[in-house]
Amino acid sequence: MQQQYRNQFLPKDIRIVGYARTRMDHDEYLRRIKSYIKTPTKDIEQQLEEFCGLCTYVSGQYDKDESFQQLNKHLEELEQGRKEANRLFYMALPPSVFTIVSQHLKKCCYPSNGIARVIVSWNRASSFSKRPF
């Protein structure tokens, strides 16, 4: 996603919210983001800093309404003052939790004014033991 930001393919007012079970503070979240991205030039390093300014993190469970209600509250705070709340949920999760997470997103996090889309990132390696190809 940082690459799309760097190439100016993302909307100017985008906000990126990480959500996972791992408990970590904002600084740790940003440290992890930065650890995956090479910054060979000062220009790219500056763009990474700007990208990180768009990122926040919420920790929660995959099977609890309360966790997704907390996520929704965070999203609403970020969207304050906007006419519409258009949300894109990118799920890079084990297949065993796709359904429960999708159900909680729909129940607790779909905006009343705007659209919601879900993208599922499928990692074939996670399913090799269950399905032969």
- The DSSP secondary structure of 63-81, one letter per residue, reads S-HHHHHHHHHHHHHHHTT
Residue 9 domain-assigned (yes or no):
yes
Residue 35 domain-assigned (yes or no):
yes
Residue 70 domain-assigned (yes or no):
no
Residue 112 domain-assigned (yes or no):
no
Measure Cα distances from 4 to 11, 95, 119, 124 in Å: 10, 26, 16, 24
Residue 116 domain-assigned (yes or no):
no
Residue 12 domain-assigned (yes or no):
yes
> At residue 11, what are phi and psi to the nearest 5 degrees?
-60, 150
Residue 25 domain-assigned (yes or no):
yes
What is the model's pTM?
0.86
Nearest to 35, CA basis, from 22, 17, 54, 48: 48
Domain of residue 53: give its range.
1-59
Give the total number of structural domains in the chain.
1
**pLDDT 10s per residue in the chain (133 long)?**
899 999 999 998 999 999 999 999 999 999 999 999 999 999 999 999 999 999 999 999 999 999 999 999 999 999 999 999 999 999 999 889 999 999 999 999 999 999 999 998 876 555 444 444 3
Residue 46 domain-assigned (yes or no):
yes
